[in-house]
């Protein structure tokens, strides 16, 4: 039998007095503080890096559009554009892009008070979906970084861009090689702590991510095209940089920025120049560090000297892995055994 009883109207929304609203607001703030306190430090650093990339995307967007948007303009259009930029400019892996979307939305909400519309995050992940089905994109960033060789550095030099950007890029990747530097260390270098002396450069590598600072020397190279000292002096003279960040962004009109490059930008410059030069393997920021260690070892340099340059700990598995790679053809077990 059909229930013909009249449907009761929905309950009216509760009307809350000022005291109730104040308590609820305080509870919301306390919840955010608690969640932030229990959030792992690695996650916090990851979110900070995501926001730095969001800032870099806005720099790029301003160059393309001729107008700068606010970082808090996290909309369907800007978030989908961010996905496309990470894929096509940064060559980021899809899973990495997915994490970046989360980092930007969380940072916008927690640190800037901006609630990102659900339609924006849904659209961004719709744009991401076909990228996750592409095996080549999924393979990005996997495996150990290829160690660059001096021959590949010369190949990159032959294809370097003209103008100020080319001078910066060459100085950057050769400095990264010369100090066996991590991308974050290269980004943090300061011009006033790179001192030219008769033998080459005295370089102070700042502390990054909790790692101790170190002071290293970079000698003049025999080959002019791959000499870090000459490349740095040429860039310094052309840019007029005497203090502050050693490497700065350059816009499409050749104007220098006023803030240091990010570690992500350092990695992009190295990867982009290697790709332009047609280097057979994909080089990353870490390729310069790995390349210095293996090249120096093959030249007969002592382990403790190499380790002092790279800043590796005595028992670093990564360091000894590079040494084994460099040594594998030295007195090989299969050599000269009568085969």
Task: Give residue 4's pLDDT band: very low, low, confident or very high (50, 70, 90).
Answer: low
pLDDT at 188: 95
Per the rule left: phi > 0, alpha: psi between -120 and 50, beta: everything else, 180 is left
pLDDT at 16: 78
Q: What is the token pair recorded at 231?
A: 């490349």
Task: Give residue 204's pLDDT band: very low, low, confident or very high (50, 70, 90).
Answer: very high
pLDDT tens-digit readout, 107-149: 999 889 888 999 999 999 999 999 988 887 876 766 667 899 9
Q: How far apart are CA 333 and CA 248, in angstroms?
A: 48
Asked if 239 contacts 168 with a C-beta cutoff of 8 angstroms, the reply is yes
Global confidence as pTM: 0.62
**Average pLDDT along the chain:** 88
Query: Environment class of residue 167 by beta-carbon count within 10 Å: exposed (0-12), middle (13-18) or buried (19+)?
Result: buried
Range 123-127 contact pairs with CB under 8 angstroms and sequence separation of 24 or more? 123/76, 123/79, 123/80, 124/76, 124/79, 124/80, 124/82, 124/83, 125/98, 125/101, 127/80, 127/83, 127/84
pLDDT at residue 19 greater than cutoff 80: yes
Q: How far apart are CA 125 and CA 114, in angstroms?
A: 19
pLDDT at residue 89 greater than cutoff 80: yes
pLDDT at residue 3 greater than cutoff 80: no
pLDDT at 1: 45
Output 318 or 155, whichever has higher pLDDT: 155
pLDDT at 146: 85
pLDDT tens-digit readout, 20-45: 888 888 887 787 777 767 666 767 78
């Amino acid at each position: 039998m059909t229930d013909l009883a009249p449907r009761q109207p929905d309950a009216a929304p509760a009307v809350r007095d000022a005291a109730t609203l104040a308590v609820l607001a305080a509870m919301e703030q306390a919840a955010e503080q608690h969640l932030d306190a229990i959030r792992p430090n690695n996650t916090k650093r990851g979110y900070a890096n995501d926001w730095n990339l969001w800032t870099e995307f806005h720099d790029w967007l301003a160059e393309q559009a001729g107008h700068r948007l606010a970082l808090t303009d996290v909309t369907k259009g800007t978030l989908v554009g961010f996905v496309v930029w990470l894929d096509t400019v940064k060559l980021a892996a899809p899973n990495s892009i997915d994490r970046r979307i989360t980092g930007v939305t969380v940072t916008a909400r927690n640190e800037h008070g901006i609630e990102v519309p659900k339609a924006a995050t849904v659209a961004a992940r719709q744009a991401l979906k076909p990228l996750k089905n592409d095996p080549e994109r999924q393979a990005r960033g996997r495996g150990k970084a290829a160690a660059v060789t001096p021959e590949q550095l010369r190949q990159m030099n032959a294809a370097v861009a003209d103008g100020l950007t080319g001078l910066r890029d060459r100085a950057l990747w050769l400095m990264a090689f010369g100090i066996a530097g991590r991308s974050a260390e290269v980004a943090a270098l300061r011009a006033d702590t790179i001192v030219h002396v008769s033998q080459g450069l005295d370089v102070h590598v700042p502390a990054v991510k909790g790692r101790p600072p170190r002071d290293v020397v970079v000698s003049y190279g025999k080959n002019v095209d791959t000499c870090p000292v000459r490349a740095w002096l040429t860039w310094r003279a052309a840019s007029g940089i005497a203090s502050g960040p050693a490497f700065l962004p350059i816009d499409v009109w050749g104007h220098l920025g006023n803030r240091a490059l990010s570690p992500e930008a350092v990695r992009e410059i190295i990867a982009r120049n290697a790709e332009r030069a047609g280097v057979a393997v994909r080089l990353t920021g870490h390729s310069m560090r790995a390349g210095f260690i293996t090249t120096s070892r093959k030249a007969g340099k002592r382990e403790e000297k190499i380790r002092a340059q790279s800043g590796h700990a005595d028992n670093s598995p990564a360091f000894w892995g590079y040494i084994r790679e460099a040594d594998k053809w030295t007195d090989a077990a299969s050599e000269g055994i009568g085969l």
